[in-house]
Amino acid sequence: MSVHYQRHGDIGVIQIANPPVNALSHAVRSGLVNALEEGINDTQAKALVVLADGRTFIAGADIREFGKPPQAPLLPDVINQLEACPKPLIAALHGTALGGGLEVALGCHYRVALEGTRVGLPEVKLGLLPGAGGTQRLPRLVGVERALEMITSGRFVEAEDALEAGIIDAISSAATPFEAGVAAANEILAGNQTPRITGKLPAPMANPQAIASTLERLNQESPALFSPFRIVEAVEASITAESLQDGLRRERELFLACMDSPQRAGLIHLFFAARNPHLVPGVESADVFKQVALIGEVPLFDLLQKAAQKAGITLTSAPDDASELCLLAPNAPGGSAMACPVVALETIGTSSDRDTALSLIIAENTTMVELVNHRADALTQQQAALTLKALRLSVVVSQQQSLLHSLHAASQQASASEKQSSLEKASRRIAEQGFCYRESDIDLLAVEALGYPRHLGGPHRQATLKDTPL
């Protein structure tokens, strides 16, 4: 079972167990409704606590359901039932409460968080808006200005800031969500704390200045994007709607408009492209190199030094008998005679005559890098990629020729008005030549390293869409 109910004394506990991040799958949504009903009907339970197993509370929607027809119960209906619970309902948060996870918490009557918890509504990053009450309940707690900033940016908020803003009611030093939740429930039953039913709070005060300044910022920063402007409309509805239910209906209309937007499809495509671009096909198991030599000087090496200790990787400034991998800065001597695998670093747009089995292409102002395999075996490339990932780099693996070099060259040769179409043409060639392991890797690199518009999903995706007959 993804959700189960158990009473401890006079406290009923609704426990979510859907590893790894307790995503709001159909089974979790159904389980929440069933466990809530069980808790309401348990005459010995005077208060209820919602919490989750593992390393986090609910980290959002279930990505396995993206693109599939929604199944009842829908999340807005689940949250409405939580909010209507006749008994005090406490959410005990830990790890992260994101997207629908925070919306579940907002539907509860009291929110206690363990130290280090972060909350957020990051749906804008997928071309969406919070569609289960987030744009209506959050402004009732924090006001219009703060809600607009938080939802249009999608940023995560630390527990201390969430407490100060009024998103949560308390921070607990307890060791577990269970201990924090039960303690909060007992405080409420003793009359020492007062629950807040968010939907029964008055609508937020009108703030036309906050709305105007948000629209001005969005028009400057991201005028081509669709969902941020729909977020503003939804938050406006929290002020102007005659009731919470009217505001929720307007939110749902705007959410469905975002779902139908081509931008949502492009951003979802990139979301999946960013999952595991470092995996080499055909390699089922590989270990991280623990002894790495950094030869020469390059700013990237400073970043690696900061991440090495946490990753359990030893970095040296010269190769020795223990070295398992060598990273060679562009102007550093050496390469071919070294006993361990050598990765030659290249800055995007520069050529190199180094004869190494692997090369690492670096773009400015990003931690996104490309690890190109010229003649190493697949296992070595995978081990090198895992090592770089452990050192906090976002790694895309490729073969034979650099995707980044090819894309950059196409971009540089085109006029400003032709850059997008030039990248789209180049992406076709790259895919046909087989330099990428996944075609979505072309899109990921073009967006993250070369500034191709994120909401379009990448040049290869756009080229493919143009090939598809209407």
DSSP letters, 11-46, are EEEEEE--TTTT-B-HHHHHHHHHHHHHHHH-TT-S
Q: Contact, 319 vs 326, CB < 8 A?
A: yes
- Enter the tokens of residue 288: 């991280």
| DSSP strand pairing (156-158 vs 118-120) | antiparallel
What is the value of pTM for the model shown?
A: 0.88
From first to last of its 470 residues, the chain has per-residue pLDDT tens of 799 999 999 999 999 999 999 999 999 999 999 999 999 999 999 999 999 999 999 999 887 787 788 899 999 999 999 999 999 999 999 999 999 999 999 999 999 999 999 999 999 999 999 999 999 999 999 999 999 999 999 999 999 999 999 999 999 999 999 999 999 999 999 999 999 999 999 999 999 999 999 999 999 999 999 999 999 999 999 999 999 999 999 999 999 999 999 999 999 999 999 999 999 999 999 999 999 999 999 999 999 999 999 999 999 998 999 999 999 998 887 655 678 999 999 999 887 778 899 999 998 878 899 999 999 999 999 999 999 999 999 999 999 999 999 999 999 988 888 989 999 999 999 999 999 999 999 999 999 999 999 999 999 999 998 765 44
- Report the run of H or E that residue 171 belongs to, with start and end: strand 170-172
Q: Which alpha helices (H) appear in 190-226, and where do they start and end?
A: 208-221
Specify the DSSP class assigned to residue 295: E
Rounded to whole angstroms, how far apart are CA atoms 63 and 298? Answer: 38
- In this prediction, residue 32 carries a pLDDT of 97
Of 61, 53, 58, which is closest to residue 25 (Cα–Cα)? 61
Query: Which domains are seen in the chain, by residue range?
Result: 3-267 (3.90.226.10), 285-466 (3.40.50)
Torsions phi, psi of 127, nearest 5?
75, 20
- Enter the tokens of residue 216: 């001005």
Rounded to whole angstroms, how far apart are CA atoms 362 and 370? Answer: 7
What amino acid positions are annotated as catalytic residues? 103, 123
358: alpha, beta or left? (left if phi > 0; alpha if psi -120 to 50): beta
SS3 48: strand
Q: List beta partners, residue 272.
A: none
DSSP characters over 87-146: S-EEEEE-SEEETHHHHHHHHSSEEEEETT-EEE-GGGGGT---TTTHHHHHHHHH-HHH
User: Under 8 Å CB-to-CB from 51, ≥6 apart: which residues?
Assistant: 13, 14, 15, 16, 57, 91, 92, 94, 177, 178, 181
Rounded to whole angstroms, how far apart are CA atoms 185 and 11? Answer: 7
Specify the DSSP class assigned to residue 61: B
- In this prediction, residue 335 carries a pLDDT of 55
Number of alpha helices (DSSP H) and beta strands (DSSP E) in the chain: 17, 16
Q: Contact, 140 vs 201, CB < 8 A?
A: yes
- Report the run of H or E that residue 300 belongs to, with start and end: helix 299-311
SS3 235: helix
Exposure string of 150-187, with b = 16+ CB inside 10 Å and e = fewer, is: bbbebebbebeebbebebbbbbbebeebbebbbbbbbb
Burial of 354 (0-12, 13-18, 19+ CB in 10 A): middle
- In this prediction, residue 470 carries a pLDDT of 40
Rounded to whole angstroms, how far apart are CA atoms 140 and 238? Answer: 8
- Enter the tokens of residue 72: 């009842």
Q: Contact, 405 vs 445, CB < 8 A?
A: no
Rounded to whole angstroms, how far apart are CA atoms 315 and 212? Answer: 51
Strands (E), 318-448: 325-328, 342-347, 358-362, 368-373, 394-399
Specify the DSSP class assigned to residue 325: E
- In this prediction, residue 336 carries a pLDDT of 56
- In this prediction, residue 351 carries a pLDDT of 74
